[in-house]
Structure formats: structure tokens, C-alpha cells
Structure 1
Amino acid sequence: MKNFSLFLLLFISISSCEKPKLTLPFYNTPDFSPIFIDKEERVADVITHHIGDFEMKNQNNQSISKSTIQNKIHIANFIFTSCGSICPVMTENMKIVHHQFEDDNSVNILSFSVTPWIDNVEVLKEYTEKNNIKSDNWHFLTGKKSEIYSLARTSYFAEEDLGFTKDSTEFLHTEHVILVDQKQRIRGIYNGTLRLEMKQLIQDINALQEEQTQFF
């Protein structure tokens, strides 16, 4: 019995020393081929894609840039306030995520307008008030069309099958929601028109937060 107890303690000790593993995949390319890596120390050698620099205005006329979301998890989607099809559905579904993390400053939502020539700061403010969105962690962003479209296609791979190969002048309209980790690496893609996928997104955000406690 004594030997068994010693063996059990040794097993528990070895198990507790095992390094935690990353659970969500990474994405390097517009085709969203998942890359699974089990150890954080290997990530830098394999994952080369990160969200690029940007600076835009939110609904409160505040400047929001990459530094705003540095070391934070963020979720990105692309909408326009006059959209009568998927955008209202996406905004309602994003509220599921918003309500889960609205008091958590480590999680931000970025909703980029794809018609920034219409959706100025005042229009975005009216949109958030109409939709009863008051959180300081959910930013509706406007800026130069070229910057938004380039960011959407080359950084977030927002049009999954097209990526950055699509003509930059073509209208950007997508239901995709992108999950980005604390180091600006893409970790998930979801259909923003499906409530079930927003629940999966919440689970994945929790997984990233768990990673943060283990690795950062």
C-alpha cells in the first residue's frame, strides 16, 4: 500500500508538470486552413499572420487603433447601418456575445462599417442608440474605405474563399465573424447570422482566456 501511494503521488506530480496545450487552431491564409499547434513556444515559428495596423473613429468619436486592442481578445465583423438583410441579424446575434462579456475589458468587439462614406460618427452613434448598445467595449468603426476594405481582406480574411484576391473596388459584404487572440492572431471564423455559432464563439473566447492564464 505504501509503494502504491508513493507511485500515485509521483504520477500526480509528473502530470501536474505537463505543459498546458493550446486548444484552438490558428489561421495563416485566406482559405482558413486550420493549423493546430500544441505548444505556445512553437507558435512564433509557424504562425506568420497577424492583424495589421489601423486607426479609425468609433461611435463616440474616439480614436480606435491596433494599440487599443493590444493584449486583448477581440471579435471583428463588417456591417453597414442601412443594410436590410444580414446586418441586423448579425448585430442582434452579436449581442449574445456582448452580454456575456460587456463588463470584461479584456474582450472587445469591432464592427467595421463597409459604407464609411455614409456611416460617419453621428450615424454610427444613432445606430448604437437604436440598438440599445452602450458598452465601452463594442466599437462601431468608420474611416477611409480603402483602409477598411484592405484590413478586411488582407488582415481578417473576411471574405473567406476570396481573401485578398478580390478587386478592392468590389463591395464588401460578408456574414463572417473573426476571433482574434491577445497577440493579434486569427483563431476562429463564425457565421454571424447563426445564434448557435455565437454560442460557440463564447466558448472559444473562454478558451482563449484560459490560454492567457496559462501562457501570458
Structure 2
Amino acid sequence: MSEKGTRRIGLIPFGLATVVLLSLFLTLTYQALFHRKEGAARLPVLRRVETFSLTDQSKKTVTLGDLRGKVWVADFIYTSCPGPCPAETLRMKEIQDLVAGLPDVRLVSFSVDPGVDTPEVLARYAQAHGADPAKWYFLTGTVKEIWRLATESFALAVGENPPNRPAEEGPVFHSTQFALVDQEGRIRAYYDGLRPATAARVARDIRALLEERPTAGPERSPVPTGGGAR
């Protein structure tokens, strides 16, 4: 066989390898882009949080404007809650730990019993649960402000239990849903705040929002109070 023929045979495997590698590269690139878009599609714009001005555990005023440019997770609790609030706060602490290295992330816990939950009370509660005061706000204000925020902005239930309630139910009932809010103050997802798997799902979706380019998408109908959790 001639030297020329040998060279041609030697080039065939090399060419095939190049084509295979190029095809693999393009496939992986396409899949990465596709899944990134797919991840963003999982987080539709559900509704918008209305402006608020409340007080945190260090007696500082926190407004919706202070959270602009941040991805944040919201829940509604109260410090004397005998029911689900400790579990919610534990779940929020798990989220805090999972996203500790991300600077543009905040956690916000609104007290639904603000008459009792003064900044001093909230500060003790926050410290007892390992909250980073620079990233996790516990907010108090008036009952009217916070209950209106829960029901009208977040579409979550809150109300006063009857006087003859069982002791384990506490004075206030409220939703245990978490809400994920984007950099523009739009709610993008709801989660069951009591599920062990929630922390990892929220952390994953936080990262997806941080990578998302700002877009003006249509807002959708409110999610029912008892549904929509992930």
C-alpha cells in the first residue's frame, strides 16, 4: 500500500473523532441552554408584592425598596406559635445555610402577631434560631399592615382563632406556605414550608433566579391559599 494510501486511512478515524467530539460538544451545550430555559419556565410570574414599610429585629425600617435587586424568601410566623412555626423557622434556617455564600439573597419572616412580637422579642427569637441578622429579617408592624400584606400581596390565609380554640392552635391561624420573590418584587413560586425537601428546592430556584435576566413577563392569576406549593 502506498504512503499516500496509508495517510488517507489514518485520517479517517481522526476525522470521525473530531465529528463525534464536535457533535457531543454541541449536544451538551444545547442541553445546558435548554435546561436553563426549562428551569426559568418553572418559575412563572404569579403576582407582585405591594409596597410595605415594617420594623426588623434590630429596630431598623425595612421596605420593599430595600429588597429590590435581591431574591428573597418570605414566610409568616409568630414567636409564641404552639403549632407549625418552629418547623417553618427550622426550614428557613436550612435555606439560609444552603445559600450562605450568595450575597444577593434575603430571608424575610413576617410576624402575624405583631402586638406581642416587638423588635426585642423578635431579636431573641432570631438569635435562638441562628438567624444571620444581615440576611434574615424578622418584621413587625401593625396587625392591619401585616395581615393585609399576607392576604392581598401573598394570597395567604391569616386570621384570629376563636376564643374557645384548642390550646395547641394558638391565637392566630396562618398559612405555612413559603413564597419566593424575585429581584423585581414579583412572587415566582410557593412551597410547603413544612416539607423536609423544601429547603433544597428553594435553594435551587434561588440560584435559577439569580442567573435569570430581568424580563417583563405577564403576571398570572393569584395562586389559591391552599395550593401551588412545590
**Smaller-chain TM-score bracket:** 0.7 to 0.9
> Following the alignment from structure 2 to structure 1, what is the Cα–Cα distance between the partners of residues 91 and 120?
23
> Following the alignment from structure 2 to structure 1, what is the Cα–Cα distance between the partners of residues 88 and 160?
24
Give the alignment of 1:19-98 within 5 angstroms. 21=37, 23=39, 24-28=42-46, 49-98=47-96
Q: Verify the 8 A CA contact 2:93 2:130 in the aligned structure 1.
A: no
Displacement, 1:77? 0.2
More off after superposition, 18-27 vs 85-94: 18-27
Which deviations, in whole Å up to 9, do the C-alpha atoms of 1:1-31 show, x marking residues without a partner?
Answer: 77x979x979978x97979626223243xxx
| In the alignment, structure 1 residue 178 sits paired with structure 2 residue 176 | no
Q: Which residue of 1 aligns with 2:113?
A: 115
> Following the alignment from structure 1 to structure 2, what is the Cα–Cα distance between the partners of residues 70 and 205?
15
Aligned residues: 186
Q: Can you give the 5+ residue segments of structure 1 that lack an aligned partner in the other structure?
A: 29-48, 160-165
Q: CA RMSD in A?
A: 2.9
Q: Verify the 8 A CA contact 1:179 1:188 in the aligned structure 2.
A: yes
Q: Percent identity?
A: 29
> Following the alignment from structure 1 to structure 2, what is the Cα–Cα distance between the partners of residues 80 and 92?
13
Residue aligned with 1:195, SS:
coil
Q: Which letter does structure 2 place at the counterpart of 1:174?
A: S
Please, what TM-score do these two structures have when normalized by structure 1? Answer: 0.74
Which deviations, in whole Å up to 9, do the C-alpha atoms of 1:105-149 show, x marking residues without a partner?
Answer: 301001000001110111111111222323410000001211111
Q: Verify the 8 A CA contact 1:110 1:140 in the aligned structure 2.
A: yes
Residue aligned with 2:174, SS:
coil
Please, what TM-score do these two structures have when normalized by structure 2? Answer: 0.69
> Following the alignment from structure 2 to structure 1, what is the Cα–Cα distance between the partners of residues 107 and 151?
18
Q: Which residue of 1 aligns with 2:3?
A: none
Q: Verify the 8 A CA contact 1:26 1:185 in the aligned structure 2.
A: no
